[in-house]
Amino acid sequence: MQTRAAKTPAHLALLIGWLLIGQASLVLAEPVCPEPGRWVVAGEDGQRSTSEVLERYQDAQVILLGEQHDRAEDHRWQLHLLAALHGRRPDMSVGFEMLPRRSQDALDAWLRHELDEDDLLRQSNWFEVWGHASSLYLPLFQFARMHGIPAYGLNVDRDTVRRVGRDGWHEVPAAEREHVGPAAEPPEAYVDEMRDVLAYHPAPDGVDEDDYLEQFVRSQTVWDRAMAEKLAEAAERHDGPAVAIVGRGHTEYGRGIPHQLADLGVERIVVLLPHRNGEPCLDEPPYPAHALFGVTDSPSDTRIAAPRLGIAVTASEKGLTVTEVNRDGAADRAGIRQDDILIRAGDQELRERSDLLALLDRQQPGNMLTLEVLRDGSPQELLIEL
């Protein structure tokens, strides 16, 4: 780990920087928002270059690169920043929220050039676990493989999250916790944030709202703790920083992963976020991040999602049985009915739900796709516009 020999003003600024999120600091008179292609740093005036920002945080143990999962520009920013970080600290590692811990063998095989992209997605259960368009993330995986960067799956299975949220941590047998320890008690501001989220998702009938909030908070902190533990392990194992590709909601204001990392004894944590017009700037504490990078409002800053058919299916002996059709969805407009059995899409035979999801992941909105279905035992072909 690189260190500085003297307490220069830059060094003092660095030490103060670790503490900026969620704590009192200098309150600036004017909002501090980044210009496109520039950075602003919490507690300071002025615009900074990428080189200046990375120099400031070169001693970080963990660097969290927050994202909105479906924003293309966020992932371009992450890729460019990974390259800049690697140029300074080739001994870094990288962790991915979108991969669960049980996918580590597949990720390791990918890094050894033993799997192609389709194999990585299939063996990591990408379409069941994550589901966002793989085109947003594959460049990040390719970068790690090209440069031989150690990479880790940070997440845990959704069933583990649900069970802990519903029953409590100590009610889940130790052997079924995926080696994740109990989470630190979240700050009150974190609980308030979760309460605001649930205002748009009321408790089911007959469920006490306070109990519902407690379960939701427990579920969220399982995710935060699992990712924090894996990042802390990576930071200890490698000389350079552990860089995390994670949703920004797990990073902002130091409440999610940073809070759990601090409980694990990790001291030098940095949160970096892309910033768009209308999003919080660095006006006053608590700050959403240590530094913000300005991205432009442009046609390239799009939301990308894999096409969907608007149906629910379940695997059967003959193919995928349609159990539900969304009204006026792509499948409904194409004439697909409940109880139809999908046996082929394009040139892809359909055996598992993931077969269909993988095929859709490679399509573009507006594409036409031929579906072969069995209806009342008779084969039919339907043309569907995605």
CA-based nearest residue to 261, from 62, 45, 22: 62
- Output the pLDDT for position 306: 78
Average pLDDT over residues 92-99: 97
H helices of 124-251, where?
A: 126-129, 138-146, 158-167, 188-198, 209-237
The burial of 136, by beta-carbon neighbours within 10 Å (0-12 exposed, 13-18 middle, 19 or more buried), is given as buried
pLDDT tens string 262-313: 999 999 999 999 999 989 999 889 999 999 999 987 777 888 887 888 999 9
Residues 32 and 88 in one domain: yes
Give domain status of residue 170, yes or no: yes
Cβ 72 vs Cβ 138: under 8 Å: no
Range of the domain at 162: 9-294
- Output the pLDDT for position 131: 83
Q: Which helix (H) or strand (E) holds 344?
A: strand 341-345
Domain count, the chain: 2
Residues 225 and 345 in one domain: no
Give domain status of residue 3, yes or no: no
Residues 138 and 201 in one domain: yes
CATH of the domain at 337: 2.30.42.10
The pair of structure tokens assigned to 18 is 């670790």
Give domain status of residue 306, yes or no: no
Residues 110 and 162 in one domain: yes
Separation CA 144–CA 3 (nearest Å): 25
Residues 210 and 334 in one domain: no
pLDDT tens string 13-55: 344 345 445 544 444 446 689 999 999 999 999 999 999 999 9
Residues 211 and 328 in one domain: no
**Whole-number Cα distances in Å, 91 to 109, 149, 150, 358:** 20, 8, 9, 34
Last residue of one domain, picked from the residues 247, 269, 294: 294
CATH of the domain at 106: 3.40.50.11550
Global confidence as pTM: 0.86
Residues 60 and 181 in one domain: yes
Cβ 97 vs Cβ 250: under 8 Å: yes
The pair of structure tokens assigned to 213 is 């909030």
Residues 83 and 228 in one domain: yes
Last residue of one domain, picked from the residues 260, 294, 328: 294
Give domain status of residue 176, yes or no: yes
Give domain status of residue 66, yes or no: yes
